[in-house]
């Protein structure tokens, strides 16, 4: 939705890795240098670690665009908690090998033959293993053993290991991994973006989809975004996605720090299980009750056209206006006694509080509905 509203050619802050949005921060530039050096060595292990969302997968996607796939056979594995025998079969499958049954010796034999055939054809083999912190020691040892495959004096396979900070600590300190440590020829830990880099990161990604200053970014927005996300790229993407969506829903051409604060509050509610349903609205008339949860919104999430979303927004505005009129009527009726009647003052405050809660609740439902519809259309397109 927001990409259409702001005239973007796509969504600049999608969470899936996309090399066209690769941003070369200082830490990513250093990582690419280590990767280049390591790949030129054509042996051993290269290790890249970083916090969740630091950009490891995007870095690898960028690397894959730069290498010659005709001279380098690349297999990628995203691991779960695999043991030593399972990792062998997963690696064989990643290289396109079919091994009958669950025979480890057969899988190893098929892998060695394939690696030798590739070497004779002048191609090197690179194994990329993501989420290495999930592997147990036996599986890591099996990966080390695979690096022993040689044709004459030439190693047949090189490995790039990606993992979270705990994998870095395991590699550095575990006494059973001495031999693996000795085969690491390059390693780097991806750091978060600093505040200046975050500003460049946000504008870089938006410019990639045609941003030309709309929406404008308020002066205090990006410093507040840095504080909220600690400069972790995926967190930045998550927050900016929601912020742009809010801007489109509210038809705003400027993103502000106060809007960011509202988005962070909503996201915090998502993490904690969603916004608490507000208390029932005070029945000032027979038709003042507003929808409180997603189940109360009169829409079908499977096929909601944009017109119905617009109708929801119009209904929200109309009902908000009614509540405001009711508050104003009470205040006019009470006149000067409002300030001296604590019960009436409390009633007005409760109505105003319900008004704010209903506004937040409906906006939250609309946001989640639009995000669901956009994700569903992307799945259908895929």
- The candidate with the shortest Cα–Cα distance to 290, out of 315, 309, 327, is 315
Q: Judge if 30 and 121 occupy the same domain.
A: yes
Whether residue 277 lies inside any domain: the answer is no
CB 108 within 8 A of CB 73: no
CB 323 within 8 A of CB 243: no
CA distance linking residue 245 with residue 131, whole number of Å:
31
| Predicted local distance difference test score (pLDDT) of residue 84 | 83
Structure tokens of 347?
Answer: 């009633």
Split the chain (382 residues) into runs of 10 and give each run's mean pLDDT.
90 90 94 93 94 92 89 90 87 89 87 94 94 93 93 92 94 93 95 95 96 94 96 96 93 94 87 46 37 40 49 62 63 53 68 67 63 52 41
* 3-class DSSP state of 130: strand
* Rg (the chain; Cα; Å): 28
Number of domains in the chain: 3
Q: Judge if 36 and 131 occupy the same domain.
A: yes
Whether residue 280 lies inside any domain: the answer is no
Q: Judge if 154 and 169 occupy the same domain.
A: yes
Which residues are bridge partners to 76 per DSSP? 128
Q: Judge if 156 and 125 occupy the same domain.
A: yes
| Predicted local distance difference test score (pLDDT) of residue 358 | 64
| Predicted local distance difference test score (pLDDT) of residue 232 | 96
Q: Range of 253's domain?
A: 2-11+194-271
Q: Judge if 81 and 149 occupy the same domain.
A: yes
Tell me, rounded to whole angstroms, the distance of Cα 78 from its chain centroid. 17
Whether residue 322 lies inside any domain: the answer is yes
| Predicted local distance difference test score (pLDDT) of residue 379 | 45
**Dihedral sign of CA atoms 131, 239, 376, 276 in order:** positive
Structure tokens of 169?
Answer: 């600590």
Q: Judge if 38 and 141 occupy the same domain.
A: yes
| Predicted local distance difference test score (pLDDT) of residue 99 | 81
Tell me, rounded to whole angstroms, the distance of Cα 22 from its chain centroid. 14
- The candidate with the shortest Cα–Cα distance to 185, out of 43, 32, 52, 77, is 43
Q: The CATH number of the domain where 109 resides is what?
A: 3.40.50.300
**Number of residues that this document lists for the chain:** 382
Q: Judge if 230 and 342 occupy the same domain.
A: no
H-assigned helices in the chain: 2-5, 26-41, 56-66, 84-94, 104-120, 137-146, 165-173, 178-181, 195-207, 221-229, 233-249, 257-271, 306-334, 342-381
215 preceded by cis ω (within 30°)? yes
The number of C-alpha atoms within 13 Å of 179 and in the hemisphere containing its C-beta is 12
How do 150-151 and 154-155 pair as beta strands? Answer: antiparallel
CA distance linking residue 131 with residue 311, whole number of Å:
45
Whether residue 17 lies inside any domain: the answer is no
The number of C-alpha atoms within 13 Å of 1 and in the hemisphere containing its C-beta is 28
Whether residue 45 lies inside any domain: the answer is yes
Residues 6+ apart with CB under 8 A from 273: none
Q: Judge if 168 and 202 occupy the same domain.
A: no
CA distance linking residue 125 with residue 123, whole number of Å:
7
Measured from the Cβ of residue 182, the count of other Cβ atoms closer than 10 Å reads 11
User: H or E segment at 263?
Assistant: helix 257-271
CA distance linking residue 140 with residue 133, whole number of Å:
10
Q: Judge if 241 and 120 occupy the same domain.
A: no
Q: Judge if 83 and 71 occupy the same domain.
A: yes
Structure tokens of 376?
Answer: 């569903």
Torsion of CA 276, 279, 284, 288, to 10 degrees: 40
* 3-class DSSP state of 207: helix
* Residue that the structure tokens 């030593």 belong to: 84
Whether residue 35 lies inside any domain: the answer is yes
Q: Judge if 117 and 174 occupy the same domain.
A: yes
Q: Judge if 143 and 204 occupy the same domain.
A: no
In the chain, what is the greatest distance between 2 CA atoms, to the nearest angstrom? 98
Tell me, rounded to whole angstroms, the distance of Cα 282 from its chain centroid. 40
The number of C-alpha atoms within 13 Å of 91 and in the hemisphere containing its C-beta is 34
Domain boundary among 190, 214, 236: 190
Whether residue 167 lies inside any domain: the answer is yes
């Amino acid at each position: 939705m927001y990409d259409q509203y702001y005239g973007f050619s796509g969504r600049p802050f999608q969470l899936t890795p996309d090399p066209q949005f690769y941003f070369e921060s200082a830490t990513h530039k250093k990582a690419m240098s280590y990767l280049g050096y390591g790949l030129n060595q054509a042996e051993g292990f290269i290790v890249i670690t970083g916090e969740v969302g630091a950009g490891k997968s995007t870095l690898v996607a960028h690397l894959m665009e730069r290498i010659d796939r005709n001279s380098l056979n690349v297999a990628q594995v995203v691991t779960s908690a695999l043991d030593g025998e399972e990792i062998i079969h997963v690696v064989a499958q990643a290289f396109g090998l079919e091994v009958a049954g669950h025979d480890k010796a057969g899988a190893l034999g098929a892998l060695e033959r394939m690696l030798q055939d590739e070497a004779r054809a002048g191609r090197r083999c690179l194994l990329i293993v993501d989420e290495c912190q999930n592997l147990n020691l036996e599986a890591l040892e099996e990966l080390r053993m695979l690096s022993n495959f040689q044709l004459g004096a030439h190693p047949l396979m090189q490995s790039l290991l990606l993992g979270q900070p705990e994998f870095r600590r395991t590699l550095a300190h575990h006494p059973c991994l001495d031999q693996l440590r000795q085969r690491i020829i390059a390693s780097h830990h991806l750091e978060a973006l600093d505040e200046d880099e975050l500003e460049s990161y946000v504008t870089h990604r938006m410019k990639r989809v045609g941003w030309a200053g709309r929406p404008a970014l308020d002066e205090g927005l990006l410093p507040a975004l840095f504080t909220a996300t600690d400069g972790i790229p995926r967190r930045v993407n998550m927050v900016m996605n929601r912020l742009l969506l809010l801007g489109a829903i509210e038809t705003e051409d400027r993103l502000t720090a106060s809007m960011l604060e509202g988005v962070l509050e909503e996201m915090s509610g998502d993490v904690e299980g969603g916004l608490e349903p507000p208390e029932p609205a005070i029945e000032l008339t027979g038709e003042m009750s507003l929808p409180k949860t997603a189940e109360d919104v009169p829409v079908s999430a499977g096929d909601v056209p944009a017109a119905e979303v617009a109708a929801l927004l119009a209904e929200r505005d109309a009902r908000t206006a009614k509540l405001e009129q009711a508050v104003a009527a009470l205040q006019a009726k009470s006149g000067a006694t409002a300030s001296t009647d604590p019960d009436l003052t409390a009633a007005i405050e409760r109505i105003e509080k319900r008004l704010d809660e209903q506004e937040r609740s409906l906006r939250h439902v609309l946001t989640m509905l639009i995000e669901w519809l956009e994700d569903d259309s992307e799945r259908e397109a895929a």
